[in-house]
């Protein structure tokens, strides 16, 4: 058991050289079957089992610390021995958890990239191409937003509840799987997080837990972002580990269903990342395009900024640093910046289909 950690690390490093084999035998084989069984089993529960386990883990850690302190007070002579045993047991537990993570889901970081699966060529692009992408996304966002219901503050109002949204997301994945069979499969539905407001303090909109196969979603976030967030976590559930790919898949899936709320949610996700990329290159052009957004879209984006500004602070920074370290440890060298690399996939898609339409 002590060698579980090194074995897990070796598996992660070794399989990185064989993405095609990982794709065939692990991502679409062993890991996919395990995830399906887990998600369907936990899917019968009306609540997130992962959230319950996290709460129990926190209570267990606090109880263990209290017990250890009381033990040390009663037996000061054996302080060093007690600390050694505690550290040894902790290392074993962490090693076993790490190995389990790698076997169940973690090796998906080494599967074929979605760019290879979708036959998208990632190349250097010009500012002109990025500008064209942003222009098209602005037009799409304005078109999808027009005529949708609003609340009293003029913010997009989604009339369906979370249960309806997650069911539509499953239908959207079924439609998208006609072009990409890697997105197919019967999985448990996404789960709402009961402590969503507390989750917002960490800056997290959703989290996939491989040990339960559950796609967990923060339901306190602005409603119009929920469809894309649900699809992002469901992409993780289907074995796609990289954040940029899951963002792109969310965009792809949201636009595969004839539902303007989903199409708008996916388009806003793509638009935010694309405009941010353009802003780093040419702030003036980015500002000009933002001015071209419809009044409703502007209100929605302002509300999104206002929402997250309430939760900025030390907790959010710590959670962001932890997430950044986790992503980098799994060979996403850009860390949390990898969320924004979906723009490269959007540009590759734009170039591919524009080339096909022109016959070049």
Question: Which of these ranges, 71-80, 86-95, 96-105, has the smallest mean pLDDT?
Answer: 71-80
Q: Is the pLDDT of residue 356 over 50?
A: no
Q: Is the pLDDT of residue 78 over 70?
A: no
Radius of gyration of the chain from Cα atoms? 22
Mean pLDDT of the chain: 88
Q: Is the pLDDT of residue 193 over 50?
A: yes
User: Which carries the bigger pLDDT value, residue 143 or residue 85?
Assistant: 143
Distance between CA 66 and CA 42 in Å, rounded? 32
Q: Which residues contact 129 (CB under 8 A, 6 or more apart)?
A: 347, 350, 351
Q: What are phi and psi of 345, to 5 degrees?
A: -70, -40
SS3 (DSSP) at 18: coil
Q: What is the reported pLDDT for 317?
A: 52
Asked if 345 and 248 touch (Cβ cutoff 8 Å), the reply is: yes
Q: Half-sphere exposure (CA, 13 Å, Cβ side) for 329? A: 11
Question: Which of these ranges, 67-76, 123-132, 182-191, has the smallest mean pLDDT?
Answer: 67-76
Q: What are phi and psi of 124, to 5 degrees?
A: -65, 135
20-62: pLDDT as tens digits: 999 999 999 999 999 999 999 999 999 999 999 999 988 987 8
Q: Is the pLDDT of residue 67 over 90?
A: no
Which of these, 207, 212, 11, lies nearest to 109 by C-alpha position? 11
168-184: pLDDT as tens digits: 999 999 999 999 999 99
Q: Which residues contact 236 (CB under 8 A, 6 or more apart)?
A: 208, 215, 246
Question: Which of these ranges, 70-84, 108-122, 181-195, has the smallest mean pLDDT?
Answer: 70-84
96-139: pLDDT as tens digits: 999 999 999 999 999 999 999 999 988 887 888 999 999 999 99
Asked if 271 and 141 touch (Cβ cutoff 8 Å), the reply is: yes
Question: DSSP letters along 68-120, please?
Answer: HHHHHHH-GGGHHHHHHHHHHHHHHHHHHHHHHHHHHTGGGGGS--HHHHTT-
Q: Is the pLDDT of residue 188 over 60?
A: yes
The pLDDT of 332-348, averaged and rounded, is: 66
Asked if 184 and 174 touch (Cβ cutoff 8 Å), the reply is: yes
SS3 (DSSP) at 216: strand
Q: For residue 39, count other CB atoms closer than 10 A to its CB.
A: 25
Distance between CA 278 and CA 134 in Å, rounded? 8
The pLDDT of 58-71, averaged and rounded, is: 78
29-39: pLDDT as tens digits: 999 999 999 99
Asked if 334 and 242 touch (Cβ cutoff 8 Å), the reply is: no
Asked if 351 and 129 touch (Cβ cutoff 8 Å), the reply is: yes
Asked if 172 and 253 touch (Cβ cutoff 8 Å), the reply is: yes
202-246: pLDDT as tens digits: 889 999 999 999 999 999 999 999 999 999 999 999 999 999 999
Q: What is the reported pLDDT for 64?
A: 73
Q: Give residue 145's Cα distance to chain centre.
A: 24
The pLDDT of 181-197, averaged and rounded, is: 96
Question: Which of these ranges, 2-11, 295-304, 323-332, has the smallest mean pLDDT?
Answer: 323-332
Asked if 169 and 253 touch (Cβ cutoff 8 Å), the reply is: yes
- State the Cα torsion 143-148-151-157 to the nearest 10°: -100
Q: What is the reported pLDDT for 139?
A: 97
SS3 (DSSP) at 2: coil
Q: Half-sphere exposure (CA, 13 Å, Cβ side) for 56? A: 6
Considering the chain, what percentage of its residues have pLDDT values greater than 90? 70
Under the banding of pLDDT at 50, 70 and 90, the label for residue 307 is very high
Distance between CA 254 and CA 144 in Å, rounded? 12
pTM: 0.90
Distance between CA 236 and CA 215 in Å, rounded? 8
Q: Is the pLDDT of residue 86 over 50?
A: yes
Distance between CA 79 and CA 61 in Å, rounded? 19
Q: What are phi and psi of 260, to 5 degrees?
A: -65, -30
| Rounded (5°) CA angle 57-62-66 | 145
Between β-strands 191-192 and 206-209, what pairing exists: parallel, antiparallel or unpaired?
A: unpaired
Under the banding of pLDDT at 50, 70 and 90, the label for residue 337 is very low
Under the banding of pLDDT at 50, 70 and 90, the label for residue 162 is very high
């Amino acid at each position: 058991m002590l060698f579980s950690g090194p074995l897990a690390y070796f598996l992660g490093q070794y399989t990185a050289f064989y993405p095609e084999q990982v794709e065939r035998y692990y991502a679409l084989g062993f890991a996919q079957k395990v995830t399906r069984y887990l998600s369907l089993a936990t899917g019968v529960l009306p609540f997130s089992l992962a959230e319950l386990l996290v709460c129990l883990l926190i209570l267990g850690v606090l109880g263990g610390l209290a017990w250890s302190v009381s033990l040390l007070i009663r037996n000061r002579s054996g302080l060093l021995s007690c600390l050694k045993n505690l550290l040894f047991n902790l290392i074993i537990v962490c090693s076993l958890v790490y190995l389990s993570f790698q076997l169940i889901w973690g090796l998906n970081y080494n599967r074929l990239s979605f760019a290879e699966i979708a036959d998208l060529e990632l190349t250097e692009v010009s500012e002109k191409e990025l500008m064209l992408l942003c222009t098209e996304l602005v037009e799409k966002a304005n078109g999808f937003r027009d005529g949708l219901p609003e609340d009293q503050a003029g913010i997009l109002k989604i009339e369906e509840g979370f249960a309806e949204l997650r069911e539509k997301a499953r239908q959207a994945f079924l439609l998208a799987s006609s072009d990409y069979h890697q997105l197919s499969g019967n999985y448990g539905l996404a789960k709402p997080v009961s402590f969503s407001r507390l989750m917002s303090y960490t800056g997290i909109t959703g989290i996939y837990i491989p040990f339960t196969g559950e796609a967990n979603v923060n339901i306190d976030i602005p409603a119009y972002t929920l469809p894309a967030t649900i699809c992002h976590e469901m992409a993780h559930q289907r074995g796609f580990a990289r954040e940029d790919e899951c963002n792109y898949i969310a965009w792809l899936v949201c636009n595969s269903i004839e539902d303007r709320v989903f199409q708008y949610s996916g388009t806003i996700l793509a638009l935010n990342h694309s405009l941010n990329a353009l802003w780093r290159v040419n702030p003036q052009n980015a500002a000009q395009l933002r001015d071209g957004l419809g009044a409703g879209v502007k209100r929605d984006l302002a509300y999104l900024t206002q929402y997250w500004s309430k939760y900025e602070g030390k907790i959010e920074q710590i959670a962001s640093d932890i997430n950044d370290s986790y992503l980098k440890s799994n060979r996403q060298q850009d860390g949390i910046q990898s969320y924004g690399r979906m723009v490269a996939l959007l540009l590759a898609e734009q170039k591919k289909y524009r080339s096909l339409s022109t016959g070049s």
